[in-house]
A and B are shown apart, each in its own frame.
Chain A
Amino acid sequence: DSGVTQTPKHLITATGQRVTLRCSPRSGDLSVYWYQQSLDQGLQFLIQYYNGEERAKGNILERFSAQQFPDLHSELNLSSLELGDSALYFCASSARGGHISTDTQYFGPGTRLTVL
């Protein structure tokens, strides 16, 4: 158990809908990362937050948005869902968002999103 929790575990929804995925980082970790893992694209970085502020952005669609709250939990909002958004969404946390040699990212168990 990494200490990172994600809810829900599974989500089934229809095209055009909007969903919210939630992540609670490890106790004391200030940085949260969101990743998408699909069979055709592999694991792709979406966005990073550090202590409530956006720090880095990756291949995140405009239909997707995220935020980190004062209690450091984070939410990933996915809207106007398409079939191709079906994937595993992972949240990871690290202490400071620094270099991997001193600041390991710990991954949660993921949320499996199915868009029908």
Chain B
Amino acid sequence: QKEVEQDPGPLSVPEGAIVSLNCTYSNSAFQYFMWYRQYSRKGPELLMYTYSSGNKEDGRFTAQVDKSSKYISLFIRDSQPSDSATYLCAMGSRAGGSYIPTFGRGTSLIVHP
């Protein structure tokens, strides 16, 4: 079993829908949690990070962490075709002074007009 599990999709939704992307993890030592967005043929870019259970909101994006269930989610409200991308969850803990995340395999999201 991989440390971080993420459904690869693809997830196809109509424009304006609420999207829910999820990851589960097995390592209880993970302290911080992130979501990256990766457009085709581009490098990942950080969307959001959090290091506590609960919700964190940034515009149309909400990151949710449930440490007791080892489950994190990213919600996208009023989804747009420009949100079509692969979304990678990532998480990690401090190891020897470094903060190196472990990534999920990514979920491909397609928002169609």
- Looking at chain A, what size class is its interface with the partner chain? 20 to 34
A18 within 8 A of B: no
Given the interface pairs A43-B44, A55-B98, the reply to whether A101 lies near B103 with Cβ below 8 Å is no
Q: Are B96 and A100 in contact (CB under 8 A)?
A: no
Inter-chain CB contacts under 8 Å: number = 61
**Complex interface: chain A residues within 8 A of B98 (CB):** 48, 55-56, 97
A107 and B44 in contact, given A48-B98, A100-B49, A101-B51 (Cβ under 8 angstroms): yes
Query: Chain A: interface secondary structure?
Result: loop
Q: What are 13 sample pairs from A and B whose C-beta atoms fall under 8 A apart?
A: A33-B100, A42-B104, A42-B106, A45-B101, A48-B98, A56-B96, A92-B43, A98-B99, A99-B32, A101-B49, A101-B51, A109-B41, A110-B42
Residues of A within 8 A of B (CB): 2, 4, 33, 41-45, 48, 55-56, 58, 90, 92, 97-101, 103-110
Taking Cβ atoms with an 8 Å cutoff, the residues of B that contact A are 32, 34, 41-46, 49, 51, 88, 92, 94-106
